[in-house]
């Protein structure tokens, strides 16, 4: 018996930085996925193989978090005491982990889904989000879990980390996504913002509260399917991302280029900024001044797992 689990990547539409401070966020799953095939073994060995990162071998009793498989190993550690034997884990992805599309969350969710299926554990989607969030925080020390929620539920998701809340919306909208060609790890971007505002804590709080309000308003607009106003809110939050200092010259140029396209309702950085992606609410088939477009869209399908 083998278990095949897959989970989608994600894009943050509203709520960056604020979601780390108890505010809401709006995130969506995308139509690019990471697949994990888990094959039980008769011994206590763990073999991990990835089309991106090669191979890694360890023992069930010697599990520890090590790059580049830190999220898979973090998921295994969640169930170390329940596992009586080892397994082979084969990972394939339809998108790069270098473009800010939630690959860490997707591989975490897919691995957890395969493990709980193997162990015959019943788990609600919200509990799976909770466990995925634990893995992310264990591995990198910080993380809201918003991308985990998108990978679990699929579709558009209204999310809050504390108290934990997730609401899935099934109505979707076309997107246009441009990639900057470089990225700053999320943890590093967060630290840079913290350092920049170390002497202005009340100002930082004001900005993050306003970003959180953008997300709350955005969730209400998704409920009404008022896409034009949602795009307007995205434009407003982009200004706040610029205030935080995470929209560098290249990203700002990308945002402005995309906003000039017909039918584009709103454009902003997706994620922690200082690289990665810019997302536009709307479909654009025009030239983007040499910026790299990534062909992705929202997807209603969240995590899936089956025996093969």
> Tens digits of per-residue pLDDT, 235-259?
999 999 999 999 999 999 999 999 9
In terms of residue numbers, what domain contains 164? 3-170+300-307
Nearest Cα to Cα of residue 273 among 295, 244, 230: 244
Q: How many domains does the chain have?
A: 2
Q: Indicate whether 116 and 211 sit together in one domain.
A: no
The pLDDT value recorded for residue 278 is: 96
- pLDDT exceeding 90 applies to what percent of the chain? 90
Q: Indicate whether 42 and 153 sit together in one domain.
A: yes
CA 68 – CA 87 distance, rounded (Å): 18
Q: Indicate whether 277 and 245 sit together in one domain.
A: yes
Q: Indicate whether 180 and 72 sit together in one domain.
A: no
Q: Give residue 287's pLDDT band: very low, low, confident or very high (50, 70, 90).
A: low
The pLDDT value recorded for residue 97 is: 79
Q: Indicate whether 130 and 184 sit together in one domain.
A: no
Domain of 132, CATH number, reads: 3.30.230.10
Q: Indicate whether 29 and 125 sit together in one domain.
A: yes
The pLDDT value recorded for residue 284 is: 82
Which of 54-63, 218-227, 285-294 comes out lowest in average pLDDT?
A: 285-294
The pLDDT value recorded for residue 279 is: 97
Q: Indicate whether 145 and 65 sit together in one domain.
A: yes
| Exposed / middle / buried, residue 16 (Cβ in 10 Å: 0-12, 13-18, 19+) | buried
User: pLDDT digits over 99-131, tens only?
Assistant: 779 999 999 999 999 999 999 999 999 999 999
Nearest Cα to Cα of residue 183 among 274, 260, 268: 274
Contact between 79 and 115 (Cβ < 8 Å): yes
Q: Indicate whether 131 and 12 sit together in one domain.
A: yes
CA 267 – CA 238 distance, rounded (Å): 7
Domain of 244, CATH number, reads: 3.30.70.890
| Exposed / middle / buried, residue 224 (Cβ in 10 Å: 0-12, 13-18, 19+) | exposed
Q: Indicate whether 183 and 43 sit together in one domain.
A: no
User: pLDDT digits over 58-103, tens only?
Assistant: 999 999 999 999 999 999 999 999 999 999 999 999 887 777 799 9
Q: Indicate whether 166 and 70 sit together in one domain.
A: yes
Q: Indicate whether 158 and 224 sit together in one domain.
A: no
Q: What average pLDDT is seen over the chain?
A: 95
CA 3 – CA 32 distance, rounded (Å): 20
The pLDDT value recorded for residue 42 is: 96
The pLDDT value recorded for residue 250 is: 93
102 three-class SS: coil
Q: Indicate whether 140 and 21 sit together in one domain.
A: yes
């Amino acid at each position: 018996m083998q278990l095949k689990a897959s989970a989608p990547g994600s894009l943050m539409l509203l709520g960056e930085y604020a979601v780390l401070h108890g505010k809401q966020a709006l995130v969506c799953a995308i139509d690019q996925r990471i697949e994990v095939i888990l094959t039980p073994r008769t011994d206590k060995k763990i073999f991990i193989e990835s089309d991106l990162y090669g191979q890694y071998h360890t023992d069930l009793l010697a599990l520890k978090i090590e790059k580049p498989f830190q999220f898979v190993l973090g998921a295994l550690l969640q169930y170390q005491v329940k596992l009586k034997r080892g397994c082979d884990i084969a990972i394939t992805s339809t998108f790069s982990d270098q473009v800010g599309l939630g690959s860490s969350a997707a591989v975490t969710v897919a691995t957890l889904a395969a493990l709980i299926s193997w162990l015959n554990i019943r788990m609600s989607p919200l509990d799976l989000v909770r466990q995925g969030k634990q893995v992310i925080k264990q591995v990198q020390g910080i993380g809201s879990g918003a991308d985990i929620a998108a990978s679990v539920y699929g579709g558009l998701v209204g999310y809050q980390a504390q108290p934990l809340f997730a609401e899935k919306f099934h109505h979707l909208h076309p997107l246009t996504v441009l990639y900057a060609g470089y990225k700053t790890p999320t943890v590093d971007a967060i630290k840079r913002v913290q350092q920049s505002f170390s002497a202005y804590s009340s100002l930082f709080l004001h900005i993050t509260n306003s970003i959180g309000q953008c997300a709350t308003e955005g969730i209400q607009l998704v409920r009404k399917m008022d896409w034009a106003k949602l795009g307007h809110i995205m434009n407003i939050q982009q200004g706040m991302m610029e205030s935080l200092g995470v929209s560098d010259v290249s990203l700002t140029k990308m945002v402005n280029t995309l906003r000039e396209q017909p039918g584009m309702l709103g454009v902003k950085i997706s994620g922690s900024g200082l690289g990665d992606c810019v997302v536009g609410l709307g479909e654009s088939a025009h030239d983007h001044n040499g910026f790299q477009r990534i062909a992705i869209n929202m997807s209603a399908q969240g995590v899936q797992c089956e025996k093969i």
